[in-house]
């Protein structure tokens, strides 16, 4: 009870300061309606805000006149009492206390709401997800760190590699142009089906593990066992189908055991094929605290809240994944399918993204994987100094020439490079162009 009385007294003291000194009226903008627990004090505050917007003096007469037009009646003696209990030099202290008490009430209400939802059996992950978002908004509203000293320190930490350590792609072209995978950034890798976007992501994952980074890989297209077998294939060249059919020699068994032992070292890889919502992802992140999240692929994820429009659902998932980069201070890679309507044209801009252009706009970096054909292939053959026949023959043997296109890089330039994709090894290898008779 004493805390309640104290809260009301602080409300009265703040209002009294405004009535005593009209020059303090700008302080009204530093608080908000929910800072007032007492309805009478809240009505007085709202009347003062109206007067401020109308460019009228905030004094006893104008406030009383404004209140007379409302449903709540306030005696002039009550307003006079407000001016007797305040100290204008303490107004900043009053504001701080009002906001702190409002935050406490907000947290108590949300905790009670969460407890009620859990008690009646509502979805646990979704309930925690919504609660976490509400708490995140409260923290972000109160802690801006927007002063030049804080910003300068963040920049220095970034330049020195302390505040936002990057993860190298382990693919020279991407590391040179994009610079690496940084905390707080969302990278999208998109391609048509069958062009190796999962293999590309796994190649980045294995390179990150070599750097001692912990990875959470969410797979909705394959089982976790298939993902591990793909990693084995990338490292050994042993065909995945042969492993599934148990068609492997004793020597190959030995190699597989060695690879699995290496993958198990330091327990840095987590692969989950059951998670299908962002709320579940956030829960798993809290449990294992990874450095990098990879989602394969975003169109197979389910929204936390069903919507009538699929474009809005995919946009919501993408936005939530972007929020994860900031909320958990980590890097996220989302894989995406491209629209079939693009046919064999080289993808560019946001149009190729399947179901939602938000996938492009939410991302810090967008990487397209494209298979050139016809005249585009002729151009590539010329640049690489190879005959078209040899390229088509290699394609028949499972080695494709693909373009890796950096279609968006907020901190760099848009570029592309040719890669050879070995489908049997599930591996991408940069290719060197032949310009003016020289390989470069």
Question: Region 24-46: what's the mean pLDDT?
Answer: 89
Q: What is the pLDDT, as a whole number, of residue 333? A: 96
Q: pLDDT category, 434, cuts 50, 70, 90?
A: very low
151 and 240 together in one domain: no
Whichever domain contains 417, its CATH number is 3.40.50.300
19 and 127 together in one domain: no
Angle between helices 278-288 and 310-327 (to 10 degrees): 20
User: Would you say 74 and 64 are in contact if contact means Cβ atoms under 8 Å apart?
Assistant: yes
Tokens of 59: 């004094």
Total structural domains within the chain? 3
Radius of gyration of the chain (CA): 30
In this predicted model, what pLDDT tens digit does every residue of 310-323 receive, in sequence order? 888 899 899 999 98
Q: Which residues pair with 314 in a beta bridge?
A: none
In this predicted model, what pLDDT tens digit does every residue of 399-412 receive, in sequence order? 888 999 999 998 77
Q: Pick the closest to residue 294 from 370, 191, 214 (CA basis).
A: 214
Question: Taking the C-alpha atoms of 337, 338, 343 and 348 in order, what is their torsion angle to the nearest 10 degrees?
Answer: -150
Q: What is the pLDDT, as a whole number, of residue 155? A: 65
209 and 135 together in one domain: no
195 and 255 together in one domain: yes
Question: Region 219-226: what's the mean pLDDT?
Answer: 89
Q: Position of tokens 């509400």? A: 134
283 and 425 together in one domain: yes
Give the domain extent around 131: 123-163
Give the DSSP letter of residue 339: P
Integer CA distances (angstroms), 174 to 104, 167, 204, in order: 47, 11, 10
Residue 8 located in a structural domain: yes
Q: Which residue, of 98, 113, 144, is where some domain finishes?
A: 98
In this predicted model, what pLDDT tens digit does every residue of 279-334 receive, in sequence order? 889 889 988 899 999 998 898 998 877 777 888 889 989 999 998 998 888 999 99
Residue 423 located in a structural domain: yes
Judged by phi (left if over 0) then psi (alpha if -120 to 50, else beta), residue 332 lies in: beta
Per-residue DSSP letters for 55-107? T---SHHHHHHHHHTSSS---HHHHHHHHHS--GGGHHHHHHHHHHHHHHHHH
157 and 187 together in one domain: no
By three-state DSSP, how is residue 269 classified? Answer: strand
């Amino acid at each position: 009870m004493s805390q309640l009385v104290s809260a009301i007294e602080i409300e009265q003291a703040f209002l009294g300061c405004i009535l005593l000194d009209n020059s303090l009226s700008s302080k009204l903008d530093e608080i908000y309606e929910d800072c007032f627990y007492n309805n009478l004090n809240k009505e007085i505050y709202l009347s003062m805000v109206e007067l401020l917007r109308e460019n009228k003096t905030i004094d006893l007469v104008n406030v009383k006149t404004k209140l007379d037009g409302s449903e709540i009646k306030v005696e002039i003696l009550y307003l006079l009492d407000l001016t007797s209990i305040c100290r204008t030099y303490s107004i900043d202290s009053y504001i701080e206390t009002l906001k702190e008490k409002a935050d406490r009430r907000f947290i108590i209400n949300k905790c009670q709401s969460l407890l009620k939802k859990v008690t009646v059996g509502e979805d646990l992950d979704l309930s925690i997800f919504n609660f976490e978002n509400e708490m995140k908004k409260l923290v972000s509203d109160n802690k801006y760190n927007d002063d030049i000293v804080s910003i300068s320190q963040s920049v220095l930490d970034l330049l020195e590699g302390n505040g936002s350590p990057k993860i190298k792609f382990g693919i020279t072209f991407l590391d040179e142009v994009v610079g690496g995978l940084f905390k707080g950034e969302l990278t999208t890798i998109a391609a048509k089906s069958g062009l190796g976007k999962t293999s590309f992501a796994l190649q980045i994952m294995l390179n990150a593990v070599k750097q001692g980074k912990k990875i959470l890989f969410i797979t909705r297209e394959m089982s976790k066992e298939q993902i591990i077998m793909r990693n084995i294939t990338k490292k050994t060249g042993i065909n995945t189908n042969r492993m599934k059919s148990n068609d492997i020699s004793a020597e190959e068994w030995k190699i597989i055991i060695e690879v699995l032992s290496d993958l198990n070292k330091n327990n840095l890889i987590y692969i989950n094929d059951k998670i299908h919502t962002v709320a579940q992802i956030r829960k798993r992140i809290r449990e294992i605290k990874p450095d990098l999240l990879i989602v394969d692929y975003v169109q197979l994820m389910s929204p936390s809240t069903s919507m009538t429009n699929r474009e809005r659902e995919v946009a919501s998932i993408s936005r939530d994944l972007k929020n994860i980069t900031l909320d958990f201070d980590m890097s996220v890679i989302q894989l995406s399918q491209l629209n079939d309507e693009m046919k064999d044209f080289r993808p560019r801009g946001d149009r190729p993204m399947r179901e939602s252009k938000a996938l492009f706009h939410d991302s810090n970096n967008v990487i397209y994987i494209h298979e050139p054909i016809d005249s585009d292939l002729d151009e590539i053959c010329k640049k690489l100094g190879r005959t078209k026949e040899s390229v088509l023959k290699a394609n028949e043997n499972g080695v494709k020439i693909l373009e890796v296109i950096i279609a968006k890089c907020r901190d760099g330039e848009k570029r592309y490079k040719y890669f050879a994709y070995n489908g049997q090894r599930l591996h991408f290898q940069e290719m060197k162009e032949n310009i003016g008779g020289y390989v470069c």
